[in-house]
Amino acid sequence: MTKDMTQGKPMGLILSFAIPLLLGYLFQQFYNLVDTLIVGRYLGVDPLAAVGSTGSVNFLVIGFCLGICVGFSIPVAHKFGAGDYVGMRKFVANCVWLGVAFSAVMTTFTVIFCQDILRLMNTPDNIIDDAYAYIVVIFIGIPTVFLYNILSGIIRALGDSRTPVIFLVISSIVNIGLDLLFIIQFEMGVAGAAWATVISQGLSGVLCLIFMIKKFEILHIKKEEWKPDGHMMANLCGMGIPMGLQYSITAIGSVVLQTAVNGLGSVAVASVTAANKIGGFLACPFDAMGSTMATYGGQNVGAKKLQRVKKGLYDCIKLGAIYSLIAFLIAFFFGEQLGKLFIEAKEIALIEEIAGNVRLYLSITAAFYFPLALVNIIRFMIQGIGFPTFAIFAGVLEMVARALAGFALVPILGFTGAALGSPLAWIFADAFLIPAFFHVYKKLRLQIGEEE
């Protein structure tokens, strides 16, 4: 059930690992997209805007959780690549202890301060109640986020990128069914969409746990290996917290930008919501490439094969460049038609305005998808080879760029300024990440002693 990425041609390994990941991300985005479609078409523009207005704070909190989980999987990949299975199991056990602690603290904190956060973000009065009803349920479900992402990260660290996809497919189908049941049948409003997400996320986590127990014999943790280890916990936190902070610091800029968009009114918020959902779907291959680089880099550094690290990075960048062009063409020619899917036909007065906004937003962001590809590929590679703190600096630059867009571009350019926020952030991040990779690669060569 495992895959050794330290042997064989990098391009073939990258494709075979990334394609299942891509399918998983697509299904994850698909049910997020269906959530939004059902809310928009059955509940209306204001509830759609309410869900969208929580996107940045959702990214701030849940992104921190995801970053921690990705970071926790890196020492596991290193130990697997080095063939140290006892050390690997001890790291897995300590991942569990830390996951329980982080999820308890973060759930308590976010639920208590949820309403205050929404008011600080200048959420419009006509949508703030729905926004709270949605996001507080998402925060209650933080433990399910940790459950799935820690376990799926460990499975991927051992080279199996296919199994988590199967569980995502199952949870996606369940999520869509629960959306329809909770929103249409039970009339739970936007909270129904949130509960559907949380329940389906929890299901995928439980399936990962059952699978690991039954299929991964090398992960059968012995009683003595469950003992908390302060050194290992420090190592895991040293990887996970910087990656979590990278997501959160980046999200601070998104919060500033979202606050500026909120000031443009609920139609603008609904337009950005629809565009971001479509854009998230189009950007799935970049997410898959990034996660692949984290595992690929981690295993090859564990095996002390640095030349394979650089070759794999270059091969993945080629894939990113090809797909960037394809995604731009889709966004440019079909963006308006995709935007119309989110609005019920009876709201004809709003359809054209929102659809036009969606096409504009997608066309601008997709034109800069190659910088986004570089951000994901290089950042995750740097993290995978053991330098997670560098991600924080890239996150700071993304935060600054989005904050500049929120404070300067949106007041001047309006909706167009909002669309320029992410491209500006990707360019800022790349300006740091590209030279950073060559710096850390040189540092590793000196540490390991491999000749170029």
What confidence score (pLDDT) does residue 345 get?
52
User: Does residue 347 carry a pLDDT above 70?
Assistant: no
DSSP 204-241: HHHHHHHHHHHH-GGG---GGGGS--HHHHHHHHHHHH
pLDDT 10s digits, 163-189: 888 888 888 889 889 999 999 999 999
For the record, the structure tokens of 150 come out as 């820690």
For the record, the structure tokens of 158 come out as 């051992």
* Of 8, 12, 17, 67, residue with least CA distance to 289: 17
Indicate whether this model's pTM tops 0.85: no
pLDDT 10s digits, 226-280: 999 999 999 999 888 888 887 788 778 888 888 899 888 888 888 888 898 889 8
- Whole-angstrom Cα distance, residue 362 to residue 276? 8
Alpha helices in 263-368 (DSSP H): 266-282, 284-302, 306-339, 348-366
